[in-house]
Amino acid sequence: MTEPTLDFWFEFASTYSYPAAMRIEKLAQAQGVRLNWRPFLLGPIFKAQGWDNSPFNIYPLKGRYMWRDLARVCRDLGLPFVQPSKFPQAGLLAARVALVGLEEGWGAEFIRAVYQAQFAESRLISDPAEIQAILVALKRDARAVFERAQSDAIKNRLRENTEDAQRLGIFGAPSLVTADGELFWGNDRIEAALAWAKAAV
């Protein structure tokens, strides 16, 4: 019997990736679905659609609604939420560190800590000092991690993830892709994606 799997595609600058990242692991475990965390960058994907900024900033009506909706979604999930003073925040360093962490077994914990820093603690995740502080809190050797994060292997992996995302037709985050290539978009679709992943085995 094959184990059902689900790829979770996320970007640290993405707002709805926050509640998704905080809740997906428990849901996947409860359903017996193996989860693959796939960090990628939305920048190149948005650029291909003609956007040089978050669509939530380009379309202010939609942006205003999103912040209100996100606050309601977090409240309903019991997640702390404080609207960040800066949006979007560059997630490049955090994404590279996440790839190191995923290889070393502390990735999920780091990813959740970064989202919490940004969306619950008003911290700037584009600031290397904040990423360092998160690593220290997780009892990691920040200097060694930063060095690996800047290696060609990790830089290439993130670039390949982003290219894979484009190939899969991903246009936003979070996205979920099952082993048979079915794409789901948004925190609202986690349950449907897990059900599909199980049925696909």
Q: What is the rounded distance in angstroms from the CA atom of residue 150 to the CA atom of residue 201?
A: 37
Q: Which is nearer to a second copy, 180 or 188 (CB)?
A: 188
Q: How far is the CB of 90 from a second copy (least distance, A)?
A: 23
Residue 151 dihedral angles phi and psi, to the nearest 5°: -75, 155
Cα-based torsion angle of the residue sequence 112, 200, 162, 44 in order, rounded to the nearest 10 degrees: -100
CB 185 within 8 A of CB 198: no
* Cis? peptide before 88, omega within 30° of 0: yes
Q: Which is nearer to a second copy, 50 or 105 (CB)?
A: 50
Q: Which is nearer to a second copy, 64 or 159 (CB)?
A: 64
Cα of 119 vs its chain's centroid, Å:
12
Q: How far is the CB of 65 from a second copy (least distance, A)?
A: 6
> According to the 3-state scheme, what is the secondary structure of 5-19?
EEEEEECCCCCCHHH
Q: Which is nearer to a second copy, 76 or 152 (CB)?
A: 76
Q: How far is the CB of 189 from a second copy (least distance, A)?
A: 8
Q: Which is nearer to a second copy, 56 or 119 (CB)?
A: 56
Q: Which residues of the chain form contacts with a second copy (CB under 8 A)?
A: 49, 59, 61-62, 64-65, 68-69, 72, 76, 169, 171-172, 183-185, 188-189, 192
Q: How far is the CB of 169 from a second copy (least distance, A)?
A: 6
Q: Which is nearer to a second copy, 65 or 159 (CB)?
A: 65
How many beta carbons lie within 10 A of that of residue 32, not counting itself? Answer: 12
Q: How far is the CB of 140 from a second copy (least distance, A)?
A: 37
CB 120 within 8 A of CB 173: no
Q: How far is the CB of 170 from a second copy (least distance, A)?
A: 8
Q: Which two tokens stand for residue 74?
A: 């977090």
